[in-house]
Amino acid sequence: MTKTEREKLKARLLAETRARHEAIESAPGFAEQHAEWRKTYEAETAMYAARQRANITQAELARRMNIPRSNVSRIEHGQNITLATLTRYLRACGFDFRFSIFPLGSTPKDQLALA
């Protein structure tokens, strides 16, 4: 295969990939599903970052929470968890959390002051 043929193939594959992504992204319900996935991903990332910043292993965190290490892994990888579990996890890492309430379709700057 010549360099020109490789470049044409690469361009065609890229165009096909973009077309597939556009079709997926325009599907009904995609935006809502993506928003939910994004929230879950951000929460998982924040939890993992808290543990890393605390410089503790999953095993140590499990010991502090009095749970099996495998449960720590499940928590960090998207298992549905309660606010109580999230609180225990973060406090075992030496952190706490706050959350915001704001109208759908708005930005966090529109959050309600709950005092």
Per-residue pLDDT tens, the chain, 115 aa: give them. Answer: 888 988 888 888 888 888 887 877 788 888 888 888 888 788 888 889 999 999 999 999 999 999 999 999 988 887 778 888 889 999 999 998 887 777 777 766 665 555 4
pLDDT for the residue 60: 96
Residue 94, C-beta contacts closer than 8 angstroms, at least 6 positions apart: 54
**Per-domain residue ranges of the chain:** 3-102
Looking at domain 3-102, its CATH class is mainly alpha
Tell me if the pTM is above 0.75: no
Q: Give the Cα-Cα-Cα angle 65, 71, 72 (nearest 5 degrees).
A: 65
